[in-house]
């Protein structure tokens, strides 16, 4: 009688557990991103319809700069406070960041028709979903494209500043096309990066929640910027 038993595959069990942890972490990240986007959309619509945007930003002055620069301050605070802030504090900062982004994006509802905004949002959501799926499932190492995407992003920022003075429609068109390509690539890149981060965290811990919030900020910014660049290309102005 053969008494030999097949060896237990602890490595397979470990890989399976790691995969489940990464999957749960990524799902948590996308949940936070969705919450942030919904809050931003609600605040943007309200600020435009109620006149709050024109009151705070459209009139110029110190308050307009506070609203415009506040999201950057929240991003810096969240990244700097990853170790010392609690998960609750980071959650509050993330929600405040999403709300101030909503106020600053109130101009979108004033400049473009609702139908145009809806159409571009659907296109953005579809593009985002496809690229996120690619980033999550591909076996290709996308990290090698990170430096290229970062340099392209810096180029977009510099070109946008230059065009702010030049007011060139052709340059604006080129910047918008490059912006769509860069942020489309960043969706796949960041999704794969977040999946790898998720494989190394203790799911359900405070540290995992804080990392999920910061990761959600990255995806949130990818979505918003992709939406804005597509809107500049495809949107119908009022």
Q: Tens digit of pLDDT for each residue in 76-90?
A: 999 988 888 888 999
Return the ∠ at Cα 119 (arms to 113 and 125), rounded to 5°: 130
Q: Compute CA 80 distance to the chain's CA centroid, rounded to the nearest angstrom.
A: 18
pLDDT grade, residue 4 (50/70/90)? low
Mean of the pLDDT values across residues 18-28? 82
CB 33 within 8 A of CB 220: yes
Full-model pTM: 0.88
CA Rg, the chain, in Å? 21
- CA atoms of 40 and 46, how far apart (whole Å): 10
Contacts 24+ apart (CB under 8 A), 157-161: none
Return the ∠ at Cα 68 (arms to 229 and 88), rounded to 5°: 100
pLDDT per residue as tens digits for the range 197-221: 888 776 556 678 899 999 999 999 9
- CA atoms of 26 and 21, how far apart (whole Å): 9
CB 189 within 8 A of CB 142: yes
- CA atoms of 123 and 130, how far apart (whole Å): 11
**DSSP, residue by residue, 18-65:** HHHHHHHHHHHHHHHHHHHHHHHHHHHHHHHHHSHHIIIIIT-SHHHH
Mean of the pLDDT values across residues 5-11? 46
- CA atoms of 123 and 232, how far apart (whole Å): 13
**DSSP, residue by residue, 98-149:** HHHHHHHTHHHHHHB-HHHHHHHHHHHHHHHHHHHHHHHH--S-GGGGHHHH
Say which DSSP state 2 is in.
-
Question: Is 203 in a helix, a strand, or coil?
Answer: coil
Looking at the predicted structure, is the pLDDT value of residue 232 above 60? yes
Looking at the predicted structure, is the pLDDT value of residue 12 above 60? no
CB 124 within 8 A of CB 230: yes
Q: What is the mean pLDDT of the chain?
A: 87
């Amino acid at each position: 009688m053969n008494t030999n038993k097949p060896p237990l595959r602890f490595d397979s069990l470990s890989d399976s557990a790691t995969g489940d942890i990464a999957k749960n972490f990524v799902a948590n990240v996308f949940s936070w991103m969705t919450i942030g986007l919904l809050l931003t959309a609600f605040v943007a619509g309200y600020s435009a319809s109620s006149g709050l945007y024109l009151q705070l930003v459209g009139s110029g002055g110190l308050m307009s700069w506070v609203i415009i620069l506040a999201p950057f301050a929240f991003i810096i605070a969240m990244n700097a406070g990853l170790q010392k802030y609690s998960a609750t504090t980071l959650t509050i900062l993330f929600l405040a960041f999403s709300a101030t982004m909503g106020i600053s994006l109130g101009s979108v509802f004033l400049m473009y028709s609702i139908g145009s905004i809806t159409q571009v949002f659907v296109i953005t959501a579809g593009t985002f979903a496809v690229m996120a799926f690619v980033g999550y499932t591909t076996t290709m190492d996308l990290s090698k494209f990170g430096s290229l995407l970062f340099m392209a992003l810096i180029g977009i920022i510099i070109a946008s500043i230059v065009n702010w003075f030049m007011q060139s429609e052709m340059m604006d068109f080129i910047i918008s096309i490059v912006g769509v390509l860069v942020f489309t690539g960043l969706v796949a890149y960041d999704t794969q990066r977040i999946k790898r981060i998720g494989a190394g965290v203790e799911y359900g811990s405070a540290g995992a929640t804080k990392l999920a919030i910061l990761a959600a900020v990255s995806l949130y910014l990818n979505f918003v910027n992709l939406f804005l660049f597509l809107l500049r290309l495809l949107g119908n102005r009022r």
